[in-house]
Amino acid sequence: MMDRRERYDDFVEAVRVAMDGRLSELWTAMPCIVESYDAEAETITAQPAVRGRVLQPDGSETLVALPLLVDVPAIFPGAGGFTLTFPVKAGDECLVVFASRCIDAWWQSGGVGNPLETRQHDLSDGFAFVGPRCRARALDGVSTENVQLRTDDGKASVTMRPDYTIVAANPAASVSLTPAGEVAAVATARISLRAPDVIIAANSLSMTNLEGGAVAANIVGDINQTGSITSSGDHEAGGVSLVHHVHEGVEAGGDNTGEPI
């Protein structure tokens, strides 16, 4: 549809119209909403979150939804053999940036290759950065001092701190790291370590119930240690109390008793 400015007898305006028309076909970046995610191909189908304008014959404009962007490669931060991944879900927001040339050959085979088409800044050549958020979905309680890997609701987090002090954690589960080498894990439920062999090398190991009650530590299997284990409460091994157990087969003199019961 012809732009009415094309009828003006003004060379500068005519050039401006031509530039506007070309720019309207050039895509750089667009906020989008994830429709679906293909975990095997690591691609996203996304709906552009900004509608397009269509000029009508009478000069009016109609707003229309742009077509779905399909097979958009998802970008996860990664390098050197390490990658930070996220479970992308429908409804997540992302920013899709459009390559200046056709990416089909690169996407299929990698390496340096020839463009299969001459298109430029096309909707078909997007990359999706997951994570951007509109104001309505902004996170609550984002730390202004520490680096965190956290859930959106803030109930679980892994925190790296620039100082040497670990403060009480508010989330239901958190792990904190400091430059001093201190690691603190806090949970309102259970902390589980499951492995064929667990090694704890420390000068001291303290267990404290945050509610002020008794500490329950359940260990399945034998305990082999060369140091000492002390506590202000009781220990049970194989169902036998360390504090309240009794012995059978008690004999006088230098004889040994039986095993505790």
Let me know if residue 133 belongs to a domain: yes
Closest C-alpha among 252, 234, 251 to residue 243: 234
Mean local confidence (pLDDT), 220-244: 76
In a domain, 22, yes or no: yes
8 vs 194, residue with greater confidence: 194
Smallest Cα–Cα separation from 163: which of 185, 187, 186, 182?
A: 182
Q: Is residue 168 part of a domain?
A: no
With respect to residue 179, please indicate whether it lies within any of the assigned structural domains: no
At 59-79, the pLDDT tens digits run: 788 999 999 999 999 999 999
Give the separation between CA 127 and CA 96, rounded to whole angstroms.
5
The better pLDDT of the pair 2, 190 is held by 190
Which residue has 């690691």 as its token pair? 183
110 vs 21, which has greater pLDDT?
Answer: 110
What's the whole-number average pLDDT of the chain? 83
Note the pLDDT of residue 19.
73
**Is residue 195 included in any domain, yes or no?**
no
Q: Per the domain annotation, does 191 fall within a domain?
A: no
CATH code of residue 39: 2.40.50.230
Overall domain count for the chain: 1
Question: Residue 102: pLDDT band by 50, 70, 90 thresholds?
Answer: very high
Residue partners of 102: CB distance under 8 A and separation at least 6: 115, 116, 117, 118, 119, 122, 124, 125
Tokens encoding 112: 């340096």
Flag whether 44 is in a domain.
yes
Which 3-state string (H, E, C) describes 44-109?
Answer: EEEEECCCEEEECCCCCEEEECCCCEEEEEEECCEECCEECCCCCCCCCEEEEEECCCCCHHHHHH
Does residue 95 lie within any of the structural domains? yes
Task: Determine the pLDDT at residue 5.
Answer: 54
Are 106 and 150 contacting, i.e. CB atoms less than 8 angstroms apart? no
Asked if residue 3 has pLDDT above 60, the reply is no
**Segment of 42-46, 102-106, 141-145, 149-153 carrying the highest mean pLDDT:** 42-46
Higher pLDDT among residues 193 and 213, named by residue: 193
C-alpha 87/C-alpha 89 separation (Å) is 6
Neighbours of 179 (CB within 10 A): 10
Task: In whole angstroms, give the CA distance from residue 5 to residue 21.
Answer: 12
Select the more confidently predicted residue: 237 or 164.
237
Q: For residue 47, is pLDDT > 50?
A: yes
Q: What is the pLDDT of residues 146-201, one digit of tens each?
A: 888 999 998 888 888 888 777 666 778 888 888 888 888 888 888 888 888 878 77
Q: How confident is the model at residue 1 (pLDDT cuts 50, 70, 90)?
A: very low
Strand partners, 170: none
DSSP string, 149-180: EE-TTSSEEEEE-SSS-PPPP-SSEEEEE-TT
**Taking residues 131-159, what's their average pLDDT?**
90
> What average pLDDT does range 206-225 have in this prediction?
71
Domain that holds residue 75: 4-137
Q: Answer for the pair 168, 180: CB distance below 8 angstroms, yes or no.
A: no
The DSSP code for 115 is -
Alpha-carbon distance values, 153 to 30, 109, 169 (Å)? 26, 39, 14
